[in-house]
Amino acid sequence: MNRNELLRVEDLSKSFSGFKALHEVSFDLRERDILGIIGPNGAGKTTLLECLVGLLSVNSGAVFWKSEPLTNSGRKDVMFYLPEDIVPYQEQPASRLTGFFRDIYDLSHERERDVLFRLQLEKVLTRRVGELSRGYRRRVLLALALLAPKPLLLLDEPFDGLDPRQTVEVANLLREESESGRTFVLSIHQLADAARICNRFLLLVEGKVVGCGTMEELQRQGSVESTNLEAIFFALT
């Protein structure tokens, strides 16, 4: 076992009516990692995240948490997954949604306020979730994920709908959270965003892992000298 190993995934496979969405996916995750799952549309990024968190059943494979097998029911104790393109409780104000999370997880008002402040959500607290712009809605959802007191957060396209400034701010926030002990798995299709924030990458194509590791490790795997993630990605796929 690696000293900092947090999560290990072994041979995870998932099929939908005969279509293989994930094929023997294996990788590991270390404490404070920000792992970016990179891949084209339909590569199986969302499926992988939903399988990891237990929202989808798997056909085969195993997940280990600190070298111990992680049951389906035990996953919600250690990880939280924020799906892409959801609009929960759209007829209710944003603050009620964050307040609901605060109450469910028995968090302090201070913690909630801190997250809301860091995501600059003070202006939209009274507005209904369904009436928010895409960027604000995404930040409200990110607030929910950050409020979930889990060591591992899985975020599906966290920068989708954010403008460049907001993207940088959210990336900085995630990095701060990582430095304070949290681990992230981000599904990202924008390679520039991934290169900016992630320290490790998992390249996924048609449900198969084509590369995994740090930028340097990927360079070696793809036999490329460029430090451009896009060039490495194309070399490996």
- The site for other proteins (CB under 8 A) is made up of 50, 53-57, 72, 76-77, 80-81, 83, 85-96, 99-100, 104-105, 109-110, 113, 116-117, 122, 125-126, 128, 144, 148
Contacts of 181 (CB under 8 A, 6+ apart): 31, 32, 151
Q: What is the DSSP letter of 36?
A: E
Long-range contacts of 103-108 (CB under 8 A, 24+ apart): 105/147, 105/148, 105/149, 107/147, 107/149
Cβ closest to other proteins, residue 73 vs residue 180: 73
Token representation of residue 131: 């009436």
Contact between 143 and 119 (Cβ < 8 Å): yes
Q: Are 75 and 63 in contact (CB under 8 A)?
A: yes
Compute the least distance from the CB of residue 80 to other proteins, in Å: 6
Report, in Å, the least distance between residue 23 CB and other proteins: 19
Q: How far is CA 48 from CA 29, 198, 236, in A?
A: 14, 18, 20
Cα–Cα distance for residue pair 202/39, rounded to 1 Å? 8
Q: Which is nearer to other proteins, 126 or 172 (CB)?
A: 126
The least distance separating other proteins from the CB of residue 26, rounded to whole angstroms, comes to 20
Q: Please state the closest distance from residue 139 (CB atom) to other proteins, in A.
A: 15
Nearest distance from residue 142's CB to other proteins, in Å?
A: 13
β-bridge partners, 204: 209
Q: Which is nearer to other proteins, 141 or 194 (CB)?
A: 141
Between 137 and 200, name the residue whose CB sits nearer to other proteins: 137
**Closest CB to other proteins among residues 59, 226:** 59
Cβ 228 to other proteins, closest distance in Å?
Answer: 34
- Residue closer to other proteins, measured from CB, 117 or 234: 117
Instruction: Convert 90-102 into a string of H (helix), E (strand) and C (coil).
Output: CCCEHHHHHHHHH
